């Protein structure tokens, strides 16, 4: 397995930059950022008015401040940016990072962001229709000298994207859990992500595998990542931490000492998960957070494959 870090972007730039430098120096494999302009008003992390750094600018800046970790988006909402603009951004950042970008995209979901900015979210069906066309735009621009597309949502005429990315192509991660979106994963993605327990991941990937087999693609070509809230306890008695975990439901939660958390992660490896992404939402702040990250990677590193 690989082990990556997901910092919530409600931080000053100096705090985020220092934290990313720390996880790169201590052996984490990647850094992912979410694509939100405000917290969700229906139960998200933090208050709606909390400041949030913008995802694409953050990744571009981190490309120049890091040298080893993979940099990923988890995930960019297709509703917020034209996919041709996104394809050009990704190509440039892939060059700036020396080929370390993982382009994570999704159909979009957070209503309050769309309402505040006057961006149409649409029905689930409309979102998925638009998303699939957007993925076709990105794949075409990255994979061909010239791309044309006459879609319902996007129209390209002899469109170019130069320079092409360093990676051929940039790995495309799709965040998805519904059957139709998992079909898009099977057709276009090199990586798939969802919040999941080991059993949920196994069950949903079986759907991806069926879609892959229907089009003659080997399912092992799609790598699998997931994330869970991690709550580190300093002892085996963690009633307070369990109470916090219950408040974060239905998101999957790993609770315990770093050793016990690593034991729980084995179930993800057994389910076929390739990468565990650890958010910092419940890891504390300052030295407490970095100490916990250090203890976690020390216990998780032996599980690398």
202 part of a folded domain: no
Q: What are 16-73's pLDDT values in tens digits?
A: 999 999 999 999 999 999 999 999 997 767 889 999 999 999 999 999 999 999 999 9
Q: Does residue 128 sit within a domain?
A: yes
Range of the domain at 159: 2-175
State pLDDT tens for residues 68-121: 999 999 999 999 999 999 999 999 999 999 999 999 999 999 999 999 999 999
What would the two tokens of residue 218 be? 């080997």
| pLDDT score of 258 more than 80 | yes
Q: What is the pLDDT of residue 277?
A: 99
Q: Which of 159, 175, 191 is the last residue before a domain boundary?
A: 175
Q: Does 105 map to a domain?
A: yes
Average pLDDT of span 209-228 = 98
| Dihedral of the alpha carbons of 111, 114, 120, 123, in degrees to the nearest 10 | -10
* Local confidence band at 233 (pLDDT 50, 70, 90 cut-offs): confident
More confident residue, 255 or 247: 255
pTM score over 0.85: yes
Q: How many domains does the chain have?
A: 2
Assess whether 169 and 235 both reside in one domain. no
- Is residue 211 predicted with pLDDT exceeding 90? yes
> What secondary structure does DSSP assign to 168-220, as a single string?
SS--EEEE--SHHHHHHHHHH-SEEEEE--HHHHHHHHHHHHHHHHHTT--GG
């Amino acid at each position: 397995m690989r082990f990556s870090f997901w910092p919530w972007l409600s931080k000053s730039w100096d705090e985020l930059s220092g934290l990313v430098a720390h996880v790169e120096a201590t052996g984490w494999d990647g850094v992912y950022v979410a694509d939100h302009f405000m917290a969700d008003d229906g139960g998200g992390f933090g208050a709606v008015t909390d400041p949030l750094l913008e995802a694409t600018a953050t990744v571009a800046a981190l490309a120049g401040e890091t040298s080893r970790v993979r940099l990923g988006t988890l995930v960019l909402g297709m509703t917020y940016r034209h996919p041709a603009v996104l394809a050009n951004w990704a190509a440039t950042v892939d060059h700036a990072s020396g080929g370390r970008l993982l382009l994570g995209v999704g159909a979009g979901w957070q209503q309050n962001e769309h309402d505040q900015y006057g961006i149409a979210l649409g029905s689930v069906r409309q979102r998925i229709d638009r998303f699939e066309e957007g993925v076709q735009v990105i794949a075409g621009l990255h994979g061909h000298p010239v791309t044309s597309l006459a879609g319902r949502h996007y129209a390209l005429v002899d469109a170019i994207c130069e320079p092409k990315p360093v990676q051929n192509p940039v790995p495309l991660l799709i965040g998805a859990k519904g059957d139709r979106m998992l079909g898009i994963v099977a057709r276009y993605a090199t990586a798939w992500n969802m919040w999941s327990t080991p059993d949920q991941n196994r069950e949903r990937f079986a759907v991806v595998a069926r879609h892959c087999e229907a089009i003659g693609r080997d399912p092992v070509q799609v790598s699998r990542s997931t994330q869970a809230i991690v709550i580190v306890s300093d002892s085996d008695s963690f009633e307070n931490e369990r109470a916090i975990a219950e408040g974060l439901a239905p998101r999957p939660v790993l609770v315990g000492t770093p050793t016990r958390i690593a034991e729980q992660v084995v179930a993800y490896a057994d389910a076929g998960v390739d990468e565990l992404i650890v958010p910092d939402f419940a890891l504390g702040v300052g030295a407490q957070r970095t100490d916990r990250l250090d203890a976690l990677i020390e216990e998780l590193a032996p599980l690398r494959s």
